[in-house]
Amino acid sequence: MNPTDTTIRPGVSIAGVGTPSTGAPRSDAADPVMELSGVSVYYGAYEAVRDTSMPIQEKQITAMIGPSGCGKSTILRSLNRMNDLIPGARVSGAVTYHGQDLYAKDVDPIEVRRRIGMVFQKPNPFPKSIYDNVAYGPRVTGMKVSSMDDLVERALRDAALWDEVKDKLKTSGLALSGGQQQRLCIARTIAVRPEIILMDEPCSALDPIATAKIEDLMSELSNDYTIVIVTHNMQQAARVSHYTAFFTAEVDEQQERHGRLVEFSQTGKLFTNPADKRTEDYITGRFG
Amino acid sequence: MSTPTITTETRPDSSASGDALTQRRSRPGEVAFRLAMQACLLIAFGVLAALLTWVLVKGWNRLDSRLWTEMPTGLASRLDGAGVQSALVGTLWIISLVALICLPIGILSAIYLEEYADNTRWYNRLLELNIQNLAGVPSIIFGILGLGIIARALGLGFTVITAAIVLSLLVLPVVIIATREAIRAVPQSIRHASYALGATKWQTVSRQVLPSAVPGIATGSILALSRAIGEAAPLIVLGAVTFITFNPDGLDSGYTALPIQIYTFITRSQSEYTELAAGAIVLLLAIVLAMNSIAIFVRNRFEKRW
């Protein structure tokens, strides 16, 4: 586990986790906005993750947890075809988005990414001004924008960054602190109004205070967006998510490691009453 | 098997020798290496300084406006009123054309190789290998190639454009390699961030990668042009005229260039010619140094820190 990532906020303990602050998972089992069925991801001949099936519920936070090398980030990147950028990467099975297979031949990965945005592990603002960082997405996607200034302000407000940067929109995004940079990256992502935001360990490079801000922001954003977050940090998953998927790495006869989904359920249930022995071992720290 | 006592014994014991921290030991290896490095630096700078001093002293009497306002002459008696204007203008013609020809081709090739080419394909790897090798081909070979293909087969003759094309080919590998290095130095995370926002490949390259790589591309390109400006060997076989008293007036014009002019002056026995050559060397060095300062300025001004 990443040592910088093990923040425990006062008053929150794993045992006390029932539901995240934004409320219970939807009881009405609406159609999931995304669905993975039998998804395996290969790098060349190597099968990195095998046979993953799980839903992504609309306007909920779904967390993927598990030890290093369990394939959770790989699965996350398969949700908006970022795996396409890795030479030799290949996906089998079906990833559907509103019932449409994202890996069908006629699907344009650029259109996919315009609807399913991504925030990365290490804050990666462009070496441009704060304003241009946020305006970049709307500009390249050709969004019809009546006022770019308003759009930038709204995105920065939604990312809880506006008050800190409103007087220095022309300064470089790289001049901000790590936590501010990550919120800038979130602002940049929501500026193109995606439906889903994927977050790949968004807090692992941040200090506890910055982490807390991002977590609050995630809860806030889940009113409008579907969020999928990969995290090393079980407490973080317990605090913010509605659903949790636990992955682990299995070693096969050829001594190769393959990621595998062990358990998927509502976060409260997974942390208090896991169905699988491996999940229980992991969340209670007996993972070996 | 080691026992815990061994590890404690091997640790420097500060209580036994109380002044171990304060006593500075001499380390001969460190000192020797430092001296060797300084000696190398001295040799490099010494040679440059000697060269500069020699040309400045030799050419001092000729360092005035005659150098660029007067034409060269073949008559020693008229040398007092002679300069190297035709060679200077020829060099400026050639180098401008080289920039126009080789920068677009070199930069676009580098973008292709770095961003678009699938380097698991054998033909792309072959292409890369060839470019590396081309950078090491002696310039006279390029001159002979240019003579055979561009001057004769294509019928462009001994003209400004022939010289410019051949010098472009000569420095093209340098431009490509420098540009590729600059593009490669742009972090992958920037490309991913751009793609994740729904940008296309060309948008990502043109709006993120290239602007971030501009300092490296500009530096490499200007250094490549500096090399082209000083080349004499290929121009010798490409019919650069030793004495001409007119400036080039078009792509198909005859020409001479500063390195050629210097070479022909210096082979003359009269000391006046040697002085004029030294003056021309100072002029050539001034152009090269000016170009290099532009490179340094561009790099410092636009450099990105990640």
What per-residue confidence (pLDDT) applies to A25?
57
* Number of domains, chain A: 1
Distance from the A114 Cα atom to the nearest Cα atom in chain B, whole angstroms: 4
Query: What percentage of chain A exceeds 70 in pLDDT?
Result: 89
Least confident of A93-107, A243-257, B73-87: B73-87
In a 3-state reduction of DSSP, which class is residue A227?
Answer: strand
- Distance separating alpha carbons of residues B70 and A118, to the nearest angstrom: 66
Please say whether the beta carbons of B280 and B87 come within 8 A: yes
Helical ranges in A100-203 per DSSP H: 109-115, 130-140, 148-158, 162-165, 178-190
Q: What percent of chain B has pLDDT over 90?
A: 48
Closest partner residue to A87 (CB to CB) among B120, B195, B196 is B120
Q: Do A140 and B197 touch (CB under 8 A)?
A: yes
Q: At residue A74, does pLDDT exceed 50? A: yes
Dig out the tokens for B286 from the structure: 């001034």
Interfacial residues of A (vs B; Cβ cutoff 8 Å): 80, 82, 85, 87, 110-111, 113-114, 117-118, 120, 122, 124-127, 136-137, 140-141, 174, 185, 188-189, 192
Answer yes or no: CATH 1.20.1250.20 is held by domain B67-302. no
pLDDT digits (tens, 9 = 90+) for B166-204: 999 999 999 999 999 999 999 999 999 999 999 999 999
| Token pair belonging to B91 | 């060099």
Most distant CA pair in chain A, distance: 59
Residues of A with Cβ-Cβ distance to B305 under 8 angstroms? 174
Q: What is the pLDDT of residues B207-244, one digit of tens each?
A: 999 999 999 999 999 989 999 998 888 888 887 776 77
Percent of chain A predicted with pLDDT > 90: 68
Classify residue B27 by burial, with Cβ atoms within 10 Å: 0-12, 13-18, 19+: exposed
Contact check, Cβ <8 Å, A127/B189: no
DSSP class per residue in B183-239: HHTS-HHHHHHHHHTT--HHHHIIIIIHHHHHHHHHHHHHHHHHHHHH--HHHHHTT
Q: Are B178 and B220 in contact (CB under 8 A)?
A: yes
Q: Is residue A121 part of a domain?
A: yes
State which residue of chain B sits closest to A116, comparing Cα positions.
B196
Could you report the per-residue pLDDT of A50-68, keeping only the tens digit for each? 999 999 999 999 999 998 8
Backbone angles phi, psi at B165, to 5 degrees: -65, -45
Helix or strand (DSSP H, E) at B55: helix B28-59
Q: Are B160 and B93 in contact (CB under 8 A)?
A: yes
Q: Is a pLDDT exceeding 90 seen at residue B282?
A: yes
Q: Order of strands, edge to edge, in the sheet holding A243-251?
A: A100-101, A89-97, A34-43, A46-56, A257-266, A243-251, A61-65, A226-230, A196-200, A116-119
User: Would the CB atoms of A127 and B187 count as touching at under 8 Å?
Assistant: no
Rounded distance, CA B250 to CA B112, Å? 33
∠ Cα A66 A71 A76 (to 5°) = 100
Q: At what angle do helices A130-140 and A148-158 cross, to 10 degrees?
A: 110
CATH for A54: 3.40.50.300
Q: Report the alpha-carbon distance of residue A120 to residue B298 in Å, rounded.
A: 31
- Indicate if the pLDDT at residue B2 is higher than 80: no
Question: CB-based contact (8 Å) between B194 and chain A?
Answer: yes
pLDDT tens for A169-205 read: 999 999 999 999 999 999 999 999 999 999 999 998 8
Does residue A288 fall inside a structural domain?
no
Q: Which residues of B touch A174 (CB under 8 A)?
A: 305-306
Q: How far is A38 from chain B (nearest CA, A)?
A: 24
At B196, which amino acid appears?
Answer: A
Domain ranges, residue A213: 32-283
Which of A78, A82, A113, A122 is the mutation pick for testing B, counting most B CBs within 10 A? Answer: A113
CB contact under 8 A, A113 and B197: yes
User: Given an 8 Å threshold on Cβ–Cβ distance, is A82 in contact with B189?
Assistant: no
Mean pLDDT of B260-288: 88
Over residues A196-220, the pLDDT tens digits come to 999 999 998 888 888 998 999 999 9
Question: Which chain A positions have a beta carbon within 8 Å of B199's beta carbon?
Answer: 110, 136-137, 140-141
What pLDDT is recorded for position B306? 58
Query: Do the domain assignments include residue A128?
Result: yes
- Residue B8 pLDDT exceeds 60: no
A4 falls within a domain: no
| DSSP designation for A103 | T
The string over B58-87, giving b where at least 16 C-beta atoms fall within 10 Å of a residue's C-beta and e elsewhere, is bbeebbeebbeebbbbeeeeebeebbbbbb
- For residues B300 and A5, which has the higher predicted lDDT (pLDDT)? B300
Query: What's residue A3's pLDDT?
Result: 41
Confidence of residue B21 (pLDDT cuts 50, 70, 90): confident
Taking residue A4's Cβ as centre, other Cβ atoms within 10 Å add up to 15
Between chain A and chain B, the number of residue pairs with CB atoms below 8 A apart is 70
Task: State the DSSP H helix or E strand holding residue A213, giving kind and residue range, or none if neither.
Answer: helix A208-221
Q: Which residue is closest to B188 within chain A, CA to CA?
A: A124
Model-level ipTM above the cut of 0.90: no
How far is residue B67's CA from residue B81's CA, in Å, rounded to a whole number? Answer: 9
Q: Are B184 and B115 in contact (CB under 8 A)?
A: no
pLDDT of residue A20: 47
Nearest-Å Rg of the Cα atoms of chain A is 19
- The Cα of A240 is separated from the nearest Cα of chain B by a number of Å equal to 23
Q: What is the DSSP string of B82-121?
A: ---HHHHHHHHHHHHHHHHHHHHHHHHHHHIIIII--TTS
Distance in Å, alpha carbon of A198 to nearest chain B alpha carbon: 10
| Residue in A111, A114, A126 closest to B208 by CB | A126
Residues in A closer than 8 angstroms to B197, CB to CB, are 113-114, 117, 136-137, 140-141, 188-189, 192
Collect all residues with Cβ–Cβ distance below 8 Å to B218 and sequence separation of at least 6. B295, B298, B299, B302
CB contact under 8 A, A124 and B203: no
Which residues of chain B lie closer than 8 angstroms to A141, CB-CB? 197-199
Name the nearest CA neighbour of A81 among A90, A93, A71.
A90
Place of tokens 């040309």: B55
Asked if the Cβ–Cβ distance from B198 to A113 is below 8 Å, we say: yes
Would you kindly state where each structural domain of chain B is located, as residue ranges?
67-302
* Tens of pLDDT, residues B146-175: 999 998 899 888 889 999 999 999 999 999
- Hey, CA dihedral for A186, A210, A217, A2, is it positive or negative? positive
Query: What b/e string do you get for A187-224 counting C-beta neighbours within 10 Å, with b at 16 or more?
Result: bbbbbbbbbbbbbbbbbbbbeeebbbbbbebbbebbee
Looking at the domain assignment, is residue A1 inside a domain? no
Alpha carbon distance A153, A161 (integer Å)? 9
- The minimum CA-CA distance between A274 and chain B, rounded to whole Å, is 34
Q: Which residues contact A183 (CB under 8 A, 6 or more apart)?
A: A159, A160, A161, A213, A214, A217
Helix (H) or strand (E) holding A238: helix A234-240
With CA atoms as reference, the chain B residue closest to A174 would be B306
Over residues B43-59, mean pLDDT: 92
The Cα–Cα gap between B64 and B68 comes to: 8
pLDDT tens digit sequence for A108-128: 999 999 999 999 999 999 999
